[in-house]
Amino acid sequence: MKSSTTNHRDTEALSKRHIKQNSFLCALCASVVNSFFAMALLISSPLTSPASEIEIPKVDLDFSEAAVKRGEEVFKSSCQTCHTLKYLGYEAIISAEDARNAFGKAPPDLSLMAKARGRGSKGARYIYALLVSYNDTPEKNSVFPNIAMPPVFPMDDPESARKAKDVAAFLLHAAEPTINERESLGRYVLGYMGILTALLFFVNKKTWKRRSHK
C-alpha cells in the first residue's frame, strides 16, 4: 500500500479549491439538514395526521403541576365514572359492558389518549377542544361529530373551560409522566453536546492545519 505523500506544489491553489469546495459542501450539508428539518415539520403538520380534518384551536394550555393536580380531581369526579386510566392504576366505576349498552361504544382507556390524538401538546388541545365543543345541533359535538360520549360538563357550567384545560393537562402528563425529567436532562445533554462538538471541531481543524504545514 502506498505510504502517505504530500504535494508541495501550488498549495495556494490547493487551499483555494479546498475553500471553494468546503463552502459549497457546507451549503450542501446545510440544505440537506434543512430539508431533513423541513420533512420533520411536514410530518408534524396538521395535513398529515389522522385528526387532520378537525380544527384544533391554538389555545394556551397550562401544564403546571397545579393544573395537573386539579386535572386529576376533574378526572376523578367527571371521567372516572366510565374511563379507566390503567397505567396510573385507576379503575372505572361502571363496567365496560354497561357503558357499551348505555352509549353504544366502550369508553376507551385514557392513559395515552393525549398522545394518540396529536403530537406534542396537540393531543391535549384536541381533548380540551372536544370537551368544550358540545352543542345542541344533531351532530352533538363540533370537534367529533356524532360522538358516543355524552357531554362531560353541564353546558352551562361556567367552570367547564377551566376544568377542560386542567383535565387536558392532566391527561398529557398521564400519557408521559417523565416529560419533565426528559426536558431537564435534555438541557444538560444538549449543552454538553454543544461544547463537545465545538471542541472536536477545533481538534479536527488543528489536526488538518498541522498537516498542511508539514
Name residues contacting another protein, limited to 27-46 (CB under 8 A): 28-29, 32-33, 35-36, 39-40, 42-44
Q: Are 74 and 167 in contact (CB under 8 A)?
A: yes
Give whichever of 163 and 173 is closer to another protein, judged by the CB atom. 173
**Using CB under 8 A as the criterion, what x/- string covers residues 2-21 for binding another protein?**
xxxxxx-xx--x----x--x
Enumerate residues 128-157 that contact another protein by CB under 8 A: none
Among 115, 140, 148, 161, binds another protein (CB under 8 A): 115
- The b-or-e profile of 145-155 (16+ CB within 10 A means b, else e) is eebebebbbee
The smaller minimum CB distance to another protein, of residues 31 and 135, is found at: 31
User: With helix as H, strand as E and coil as C, how does 12-61 read?
Assistant: HHHHHHHHHHHHHHHHHHHHHHHHHHHHHHHHHCHHHCHHHHCCCCCCCC
| Smallest separation, CB 159 to another protein (Å) | 29
Q: How far apart are CA 72 and CA 79, in angstroms?
A: 10
Size of site (CB under 8 A) for another protein: 71
Query: Which residue is it, cell 344533531?
Result: 138
User: Radius of gyration of the chain from Cα atoms?
Assistant: 28
Q: How far is the CB of 61 from another protein (least distance, A)?
A: 15
| Residue 104 CB, nearest approach to another protein (Å) | 15
C-alpha cell at 126: 384536541
- Give me the 71-110 binding string for another protein, x by CB under 8 A, dash otherwise: ----------------x--------------------x--
Map residue 141 onto helix, strand or coil: strand
Using CB under 8 A as the binding rule, the residues of this chain from 149 to 208 that contact another protein are: 175-178, 181-183, 185-187, 189-190, 192-197, 199-204, 206-208
CB 174 within 8 A of CB 85: yes
Considering the complex, what minimum distance in angstroms separates the CB of residue 130 from another protein? 15
| Contact by Cβ (8 Å): 113, 120 | no
